[in-house]
């Protein structure tokens, strides 16, 4: 729980180092802009500015870097909503409903929903972190391979929500994605599918692959239009509508809460990163929603669920970093390096001896989330103007920027080549109606599925009863199956109710017809 004297000292640090507050806005803008460029991930954005932070004093450097982190968490959803191209893997689930909304002319509202969900849940994540940082850290270390495998399976259940004309093609596409995700050297040191290329030893770079798969099909389908949105009246950029979206977010506290809890827990687990929380939050929200049929067709709840998990995951990831000195994902690995470069080693002893500093960092992140609201509205207002530009100018520009972005990630031609190869694959998949999103989910989760399954097998010595020794894993599976069963039951009830209703309607119609038949002759 909160240590109040340390909390007071933290407020002291916050106000005596007011100069460092000046770094919040530049940090947010850097994060927003970089992560909105397709192909540059949150980690990459932070790696770019890390050397810069060396020349600042400690608190300013941390404020600047965490601001980039906060901004980058939201920035990726802008291209996801406007163009169906996620800026980074963590905004993949935002495309499902965000882009559908923007096609209906509701892009202003969609961005508003995303921004406000991001802000609110970012704050929620950090407030919770303030309360439970130490116990959370201990729980996180106890999460083993079996639990992680359960989480990965949970992520795969998103496939059921993607919807495709043919189930068989959806499963095949997912299998292809998982296979592609396991290319390279696995955790046991075996090398598969690298074609002898040293760059593939670390696996297929997920970001260029994802951009290639999604962007190629998307850009091709956009190329046939004059503007991203065809209806001229819908292309407006309206502050009023953005704010309306922001306000509308408050109507879904349940979605926000569920997204935040999923985001915090998954964000806190070392090595998972932010790209999985949004998938699980989206799938769970869709499955438990009464109007699940409208998901993927522009339901604001889909946008809110995905964004809330991304934003709150940041708090979870920071908890693991501060309390244990272990990076939850790539972005916190950069933050640890920044700490070390200022002679501070995060970990158990840091939390014991420097609690006020830890609280000050957390408080500052809450401030950043609030500032993000203002900066974010300005950013989406400017970025939305892309709707008014003809696609013949937008598309080549995006293609060039995305190629440069993927080049920046690896610093080698490997990035753009991956992009190109996967663009062709994406085109072929689309042409034959295989769901591209299923391949992306497979690529994002394939490695984790394999690694954790293999480790579970090694740890248990092949004995399936080992799961009985892992109450955590059993709980995750139990919740997952319970949620599945409840949905199935709910669906059945709903179907029955619908069938009953249809029957009643039919009866009514028959009666009306009979009545009409009965009355007609008398008229004539």
Partner 1 sequence: MTHFTRRDLFKISAGGVAVASGMVAMPSILRAATYPSRPINVIVPFATGGYNDRLSRAFMPYLEQELGQPLVIVNKPGAGTQLGNSYALNQPADGYSILCTSAAPYIPLTVLLQNAPYKVEDFTMINLPSRDYTLAATSSGGPVKTFAEVIEKLKKDPSSLSIGVQPASADYANMVLAFQAAGIDPSKLRIVTYDGGGPARNATAGAQVDVGFVGGEGFLPLKSKIRPLAIFAAEKVDWFPDAPLIGATLKTDFVEGSQRGWAVSTKLTKEQPEIYKILVAAVEKASKNPKAIETLKLQELATTWYGPEASNKAYLDNAAKMAKYVDLLK
Q: In the complex, which residues of this chain contact partner 1 (CB under 8 A)?
A: 47, 50-51, 54, 140-145, 185-189, 196-199, 201-202, 270-271, 324-327, 333-334, 336-337, 340-341, 343, 345-349, 410-412, 451, 454-455, 458-459, 461
* H or E, element range at 120: helix 107-142
Judge whether 285 and 302 are in contact, CB under 8 Å: yes
**Rounded Cα distance, 241 and 487, in Å:** 34
Instruction: Tell me the Cα Rg of the chain.
Output: 24
Closer residue to partner 1, CB minimum distance, 160 or 347: 347
Q: How far is the CB of 70 from partner 1 (least distance, A)?
A: 19
- Our measurement of the distance from residue 414's CA atom to the centroid of its chain's CA atoms, rounded to an integer in Å, reads 25
Q: How far is the CB of 247 from partner 1 (least distance, A)?
A: 40
Our CA dihedral for 501, 504, 509, 515, rounded to 10 degrees, sits at -160
Q: How far is the CB of 201 from partner 1 (least distance, A)?
A: 4
Q: How far is the CB of 353 from partner 1 (least distance, A)?
A: 12
**Rounded Cα distance, 282 and 301, in Å:** 9
CB proximity list for 460: less than 8 A, separation 6 or greater: 146, 466, 467
Q: How far is the CB of 8 from partner 1 (least distance, A)?
A: 27
Closer residue to partner 1, CB minimum distance, 461 or 521: 461
Closer residue to partner 1, CB minimum distance, 298 or 325: 325
Judge whether 449 and 157 are in contact, CB under 8 Å: no
**Rounded Cα distance, 31 and 76, in Å:** 9
Closer residue to partner 1, CB minimum distance, 420 or 457: 457
Q: How far is the CB of 168 from partner 1 (least distance, A)?
A: 33
Closer residue to partner 1, CB minimum distance, 172 or 421: 421
Q: Which of 455, 446, 447, 480 is nearest to 146 (CA)?
A: 455
**Rounded Cα distance, 173 and 465, in Å:** 32
Closer residue to partner 1, CB minimum distance, 205 or 395: 205
Q: How far is the CB of 150 from partner 1 (least distance, A)?
A: 15
Biggest CA–CA distance in the chain, Å, is 98
Closer residue to partner 1, CB minimum distance, 78 or 443: 443
Closer residue to partner 1, CB minimum distance, 78 or 265: 265
Q: How far is the CB of 188 from partner 1 (least distance, A)?
A: 4
Q: Can you say whether the dihedral through the CA atoms of 200, 411, 41, 425 is positive or negative?
A: negative
CB proximity list for 375: less than 8 A, separation 6 or greater: 25, 28, 29, 32, 71
Closer residue to partner 1, CB minimum distance, 47 or 80: 47
* H or E, element range at 487: helix 471-523
Q: How far is the CB of 429 from partner 1 (least distance, A)?
A: 27
Judge whether 370 and 119 are in contact, CB under 8 Å: yes
Closer residue to partner 1, CB minimum distance, 80 or 272: 272
Q: Decide: residue 341, CB within 10 A, 0-12 exposed, 13-18 middle, 19+ buried.
A: middle
List, in sequence order, every residue forming a beta bridge with 184; answer none if it has no partner.
192
Q: How far is the CB of 303 from partner 1 (least distance, A)?
A: 32
**Rounded Cα distance, 426 and 435, in Å:** 9
Q: Decide: residue 23, CB within 10 A, 0-12 exposed, 13-18 middle, 19+ buried.
A: buried
Backbone angles phi, psi at 432, to 5 degrees: -105, 20
- Which ranges in 269-390 belong to alpha helices (H)? 277-288, 300-324, 330-341, 348-353, 355-383
Closer residue to partner 1, CB minimum distance, 197 or 503: 197
Q: How far is the CB of 30 from partner 1 (least distance, A)?
A: 16
Backbone angles phi, psi at 184, to 5 degrees: 110, -165
Q: How far is the CB of 195 from partner 1 (least distance, A)?
A: 8
Closer residue to partner 1, CB minimum distance, 314 or 452: 452
């Amino acid at each position: 729980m909160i240590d109040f004297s340390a909390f007071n000292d933290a407020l002291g640090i916050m106000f005596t180092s007011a100069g460092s507050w000046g770094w919040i806005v530049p940090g947010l803008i850097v994060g927003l802009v970089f992560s909105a460029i397709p192909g540059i991930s949150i980690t990459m954005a932070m790696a770019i500015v890390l050397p810069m932070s060396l020349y600042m004093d400690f608190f300013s450097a941390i404020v600047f870097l965490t601001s980039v982190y906060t901004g980058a968490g939201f920035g990726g959803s802008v291209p996801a909503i406007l163009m169906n191209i996620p800026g980074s893997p963590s905004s993949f689930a935002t495309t499902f409903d965000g882009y559908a909304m923007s096609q209906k002319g509701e892009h202003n509202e969609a961005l508003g929903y995303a921004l406000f969900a991001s802000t609110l849940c970012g704050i929620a994540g950090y407030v919770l972190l303030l309360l439970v940082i130490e116990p959370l850290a201990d729980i996180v270390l106890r999460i083993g391979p079996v639990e992680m495998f359960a989480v990965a399976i949970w992520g795969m259940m998103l496939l059921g929500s993607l919807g495709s004309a043919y189930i068989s093609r959806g499963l095949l596409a997912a299998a292809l994605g998982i296979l592609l995700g396991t290319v390279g050297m696995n955790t046991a040191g075996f090398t598969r599918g690298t074609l002898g290329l040293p760059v593939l030893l670390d696996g297929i770079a997920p970001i260029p692959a994802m951009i290639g798969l999604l962007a190629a099909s998307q850009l091709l389908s956009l190329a046939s239009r004059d503007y991203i949105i065809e209806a001229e009246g819908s292309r407006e950029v309206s502050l009023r509508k953005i704010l309306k979206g922001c306000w509308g977010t408050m109507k879904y506290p349940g979605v926000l809460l569920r997204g935040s809890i999923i985001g915090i827990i998954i964000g806190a687990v070392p090595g998972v990163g932010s790209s999985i929380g949004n998938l699980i939050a989206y799938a769970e929200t869709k499955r438990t929603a009464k109007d699940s049929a409208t998901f993927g067709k522009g339901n604001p709840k889909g946008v809110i669920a995905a964004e809330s998990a991304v934003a709150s995951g940041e708090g979870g990831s920071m908890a693991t970093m501060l309390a244990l000195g272990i990076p939850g994902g790539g972005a916190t690995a950069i933050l640890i390096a920044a700490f070390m470069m200022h002679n501070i080693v995060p970990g158990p002893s840091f939390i014991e001896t420097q609690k006020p500093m830890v609280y000050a960092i957390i408080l500052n992140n809450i401030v950043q989330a609030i500032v993000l609201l203002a900066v974010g509205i300005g950013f989406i207002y400017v970025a939305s103007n892309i709707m008014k530009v003809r696609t013949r100018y937008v598309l080549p520009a995006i293609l060039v920027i995305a190629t440069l972005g993927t080049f920046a990630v690896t610093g080698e031609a490997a990035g753009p080549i991956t992009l190109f190869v996967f663009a062709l694959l994406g085109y072929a998949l689309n042409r034959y109606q295989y769901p591209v999103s299923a391949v992306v989910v497979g690529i994002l989760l394939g490695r984790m599925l394999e690694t954790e399954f293999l480790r579970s097998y090694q740890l248990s010595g092949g004995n399936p009863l080992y799961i009985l020794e892992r109450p955590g894993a059993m709980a995750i599976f139990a919740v997952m199956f319970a949620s599945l069963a409840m949905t199935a039951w709910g669906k059945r009830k709903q179907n029955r109710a619908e069938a009953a209703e249809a029957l009643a309607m039919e009866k009514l119609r028959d009666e009306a017809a009979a009545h009409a038949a009965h009355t007609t002759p008398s008229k004539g």
